[in-house]
Structure 1
Amino acid sequence: MTAGTPDGRSEFDVVVVGSGAAGMTAALTAARQGLDTVLVEKAAKFGGSTARSGGGVWVPNNHVLAEAGITDTPEAASTYLAHIVGDAVDAERQAAFLAAGPRMLAEVLPSTPLRMRWVPEYADYYPEAPGGRVRGRSIEAAPLDGRVLGDLLADLEPGYGKAPANLVITQADFRWLNLLARHPRGPLRALRVGTRWLLARIRGQRLLALGQALSAGLRVALRDAGVPVWLNTPLIDLEHDGGRVTGVVVEHDGQRRTLVARRGVVLAAGGFEHNEQLRKQHQREPIGTQWTVGAKANTGDAITAAQRLGAATELMDDAWWGPSIPLPGGPWFCLAERTLPGCILVNGDGERFGNEAAPYVDAVHAMYGPGDGPGRHMPTWLIADQRYRNRYMFAGLGPRQPFPGRWYKTGAVQRAATVEALAERIDVPAAALRRTIERFNGFARNGVDADFRRGDSGYDRYYGDPRNKPNPSLGALEVAPFYAVKIVPGDLGTKGGLRTDVHARVLREDGTPIEGLYAAGNTSAAVMGRTYAGPGATLGPAMTFGYLAAQHLATEE
């Protein structure tokens, strides 16, 4: 006999596991198709890693971009994705994402209170590639008043980083705030952010931005569509009749319950970034579950449950990497810090090993280096001088603001009056570090990085300093004291997972689908393969394949 759900029911058309953007989009789409749907979430909060993310959505040719006057074509997007992804992902799956993404946004967004808008000039990560766009294809949610959630606001997964209530920063804001002391648009943007904060206080609002806004908007749509969302309800196993998945076994209020899924189950429970055993099994050292900013509930439960039924996996050795600083309060995911002029990344030999301003997945791939075994260029240090610290924001600190003492105590930061003394503190050859800096300073003066082409790409220049000539990403390290900041291979989550088809159906090793089982988001192997198309290239595909799963479920009987 099947135990009932907390509301007494035990049977649904569709059961969705996970409340990030993929799961909520799948549940909302299924409900809009007239399917009786329930969403279960392991954590005590909804939103998962989406709520902790930057909230960007990369979907070429969508109506939000068109309304902003951004021109794009399906042919350009297809050429671009095929060029950067290559044969790591089937062309049919790439095509399914590009074809369905705009339709997904056009159908899903009207059901939400979200107002999406283009992120101005936030370039694709490889804008010079065929079909790439230097002006970018990313969209984000405008700040949203969290009061639309009512009592559900208390159940929203906290965002990455802490800030006073209503002091919200969008992706568009972030670029210029980093240049607060260097560009007129910096103070103007700070004034805009401050005015928004003041008005929100006066109006009694509770503003949300980034992934918080996206998660809140989707949750409002689920509430309005009558989709129940059960928190504190982890997946234990999948029910099946030998050939077809028929439901899920979950735990709620300390009891195991079976939820029957008449049409099917959508697994959208994130990756396995917080599962040390799985990471050590599949990924290269060093691995630090403490370096991820993914939701803590993401331990790969849905992936391993599907594997027990014979599901195939792909890309398990990879992640949505990003160079990160292991600060005492948690990792800081570096975006602008390593791109701005006046800093370099070096390895334990005191040598540069790649383009510091490269897309963050590529930057960590360079830290690990080719082949297997431990990372070749770790430990990694970001080296900067005092002029760099005087000019730019750094890990949430303002220009000229000293690094906190606890950062030094934990070894995240070292400081010295000379390059040689700094080298001794971080145990790298002093002569090598001096040579590296002098060579780089020459590149900075003539504006061309002859070793790694830093600053050549439009993406490199996005987080650069427009006032720094001749190259916005290259600046000499000359002004004492000098700093070394520890850099580790952090991530936004893992990108390996269940192999799926164009309908998001989970596949066996022989390529046949496991009937009744679908996966989207980081529970599935990324359609981006080993690369990253642009800002929001995690969430855009996650939402799209959640949508495609629900669309296909609506055709099942």
Structure 2
Amino acid sequence: MSNRTQDREVDLLVAGAGAGGMTMALVAALEGLDVLLVEKSQQVGGTASTSAGTLWIPGNRQSRDAGYDDSAEKADVYMRALAGNAGDPVLRSAYLSTGPDAIDYLMARTDVQFVACGKHPDYQSQLPGAAVYGRAIVPRMFDGRLLGRDFARVRPPIPEFMVFGGMMVGKDDIPRLIGRFRSLANFTYSAGLFFRYLADRLRHARGTRVVMGNALVARLYSSLRKANVPILFGASVKELLRGPEGVTGAVLEEEGGRLIRVQAKKGVVLATGGYAHNPAFRAAFMPKPVPQYSLAAAGDTGDGIALGQGAGARIAPGEHGTGAFWTPVSTLRRKDGTQGLFPHLSLDRAKPGLIAVNKAGRRFVDEGASYHDFVEAMFEENRTTPSIPAYLVCEAEFVRKYGLGAIHPGTTSLKPFAESGYIALAPTLEELALRIGVDPATLKATVARHNGFAATGVDEDFGKGARELSRFNGDPAYTPNPCLAPIVKGPFCAVEVWPSEIACSTGLSTDADARVLGADGQPIGGLYACGNDMASIMAGTYPGPGTTLGPAMVFAYRAAMRAAGRAIPLPSGNDAHQGLDAAQ
């Protein structure tokens, strides 16, 4: 340490420019703190930039103003029914009570703007307190041209979420694009998107009309620029500096190897994205066999978790379910030779005429369940019957109508996808079974049983179409069940799906202000964690859309207010915790 000089002094040092880190830096700066945001890559956004961008914020003002009745109290009933006695009720209460205020703060003072989703069911709508409307909000579309050359600093979505090599498409755009020749309105809308995109490519590497998580990231970045928050790209935290009262700063390392010593008077924030690409942490915190695929940003290598451990932080993987939030993914080979992962979130699994089978050729799950619950079922079934990978099976006509994974709706020729190995394609179910390595007789019997359910509209085995979520993602034009249709006419196809996490749930234990806790349960002075470096408050459950981004931004807001000397009181009923909190 003798050859290092004190290069800089700030109030707050934030490590990681994902949604949590950017929110923390932004709010802290708006509250008057001198903030330095450090990002080890050359782009902002992390995993948030490739996400749907939805936030689960019960009782949010945007939905109430749109006429949807909801409250934190109702959501607490739902979370208690979902998680039981698991998880920290104080942290859950802090999240539910603070969420609407955090969003209102950003809406009033920054470019971070949201709109109500309207109907977007909680994932376990059969439980008390669940909501069908009003809890999900999404960022407004953002015009990347407002960032000028710095638009290149926004990490792009995965290629499979773009068309024409770089045009983002939101869920609401898809029906209009598919039906572009069905009405003048659809054609005009689609043509407008296309010509806007062509104009964008004259100046940018991709389209500047950004939606979903990319819009959220771009809006946060735009707000940081307006607030004059410096971002040091290509630098990572190598070491935390400590004193008698806790963490006092950090040593940074730039890509060229230069070390920078930063004193942080108000603290250091760990928001490095979680442990997704750290093999040792994956082995420690994830189910066996350890999933080989991840949708997280490549830079999420557990830096914050390791730094927290070194400072004596508490990690309790047993409190966080299977260690991550999951989705099934299919693998594909891109034109440039790299491997792509397509997340099967909501566009295909719930549609009528598709089933999921394991290696024995049998169904094992409600195909319309949430992506997280679908993978949890894969893990559970795999204990007794090989189910990793599993297969989504349907008719070729299904793919033309609804799409399948990376194959867009309206695709008429599946031959290229079969030749590339993305799907298996066969004229009969027996031949399809042989191509995916399952017993032909079993698969044929499984399909026959499913077809019987399609005829009655009632899935007696797994209840596909019985819950609000699956009906929401099904085909409302298909009756009697929007999620059930017979599979009878060849050719037939199947795509192989694997477990992959979209975010980690195991992380550093914190209090309600995102202060990292030591082994004794007390806050470590000067150390905060948010985003996926903070242990999830969801206790291994996945209540609804935006389960990761919501807490990332809300606890970043609480932490920033605490660092700025404006700590947000906890709701009544948490007096014991408030007393402990006030004493720190």
- Does TM-score exceed 0.5, indicating one fold? yes
2:316 is the counterpart of 1:319: no
Change (3 A) 1:202 1:306: closer
Measure how far apart 1:259 and its partner are.
1.3
What's the counterpart of residue 233 of structure 1? 235
Q: Deviations over 1:34-78 (max 9, x none)?
A: 111111011111111111111111111122112222211222122
Change (3 A) 1:190 1:20: farther
Matches of 2:137 and 2:376 in 1, distance apart?
26
What's the counterpart of residue 82 of structure 2? 84
What's the counterpart of residue 247 of structure 2? 245
Change (3 A) 1:274 1:166: closer
Measure how far apart 1:191 and its partner are.
5.3
Q: TM-score, normalised by structure 2?
A: 0.88
What's the counterpart of residue 451 of structure 2? 441
Matches of 1:270 and 1:374 in 2, distance apart?
33
What's the counterpart of residue 353 of structure 1? 364
Moved more, 262-271 or 110-119: 110-119
Contact 1:284 1:375 in 2 (8 A): no
Letter in 1 for 2:69: T
Letter in 2 for 1:251: E
Contact 2:179 2:186 in 1 (8 A): no
Equivalent pairs counted in the alignment come to 548
Contact 1:367 1:375 in 2 (8 A): no
2:544 is the counterpart of 1:547: no
**1:468-547 matched pairs, under 5 angstroms:** 468-547=478-557
2:287 is the counterpart of 1:284: yes
Moved more, 133-142 or 346-355: 133-142
Change (3 A) 1:423 1:474: same
**1:137-536 matched pairs, under 5 angstroms:** 137-161=135-159, 162-164=162-164, 167-174=167-174, 176=175, 180=178, 192-198=189-195, 206-241=208-243, 244-252=246-254, 253-289=256-292, 291-315=293-317, 317-329=322-334, 330-335=340-345, 336-369=347-380, 376-394=386-404, 395-403=406-414, 405=416, 407-409=417-419, 411-536=421-546
Q: CA RMSD in A?
A: 2.6
Contact 2:180 2:186 in 1 (8 A): no
- Tell me the SS of whatever aligns to 1:313: coil
Measure how far apart 1:182 and its partner are.
13
Contact 1:56 1:210 in 2 (8 A): yes
- Tell me the SS of whatever aligns to 2:486: coil
Matches of 1:379 and 1:537 in 2, distance apart?
25
Measure how far apart 1:172 and its partner are.
3.6
- Tell me the SS of whatever aligns to 1:497: coil
Change (3 A) 1:45 1:153: same
Matches of 2:146 and 2:349 in 1, distance apart?
38
Contact 1:3 1:10 in 2 (8 A): no
Measure how far apart 1:242 and its partner are.
5.3
Matches of 1:237 and 1:396 in 2, distance apart?
45
Matches of 1:446 and 1:554 in 2, distance apart?
60
Q: Deviations over 1:454-484 (max 9, x none)?
A: 1111110111111111100111111101111
Contact 1:4 1:259 in 2 (8 A): no
Equivalent residue in structure 2 for 1:130, among 113, 119, 128:
128
Matches of 1:182 and 1:151 in 2, distance apart?
32
Letter in 2 for 1:331: L
Measure how far apart 1:112 and its partner are.
2.6
Measure how far apart 1:167 and its partner are.
3.6
Matches of 2:186 and 2:41 in 1, distance apart?
36
Identity of aligned residues (%): 35
2:92 is the counterpart of 1:94: yes
Moved more, 362-371 or 309-318: 309-318
Measure how far apart 1:201 and its partner are.
5.8
Unaligned runs of 5+ in 1: none
Matches of 2:66 and 2:193 in 1, distance apart?
22
- Tell me the SS of whatever aligns to 2:163: coil
Matches of 1:221 and 1:259 in 2, distance apart?
24
- Tell me the SS of whatever aligns to 1:511: coil
What's the counterpart of residue 35 of structure 2? 37
Matches of 1:125 and 1:376 in 2, distance apart?
26
- Tell me the SS of whatever aligns to 2:106: helix
Change (3 A) 1:300 1:401: farther
Letter in 2 for 1:87: N
Matches of 1:352 and 1:478 in 2, distance apart?
17
Change (3 A) 1:145 1:410: same
Contact 2:273 2:300 in 1 (8 A): yes
Measure how far apart 1:109 and its partner are.
2.3
Measure how far apart 1:199 and its partner are.
5.2
Moved more, 445-454 or 156-165: 156-165
Change (3 A) 1:196 1:422: closer
Change (3 A) 1:220 1:346: same
Matches of 1:196 and 1:409 in 2, distance apart?
31
What's the counterpart of residue 105 of structure 2? 107
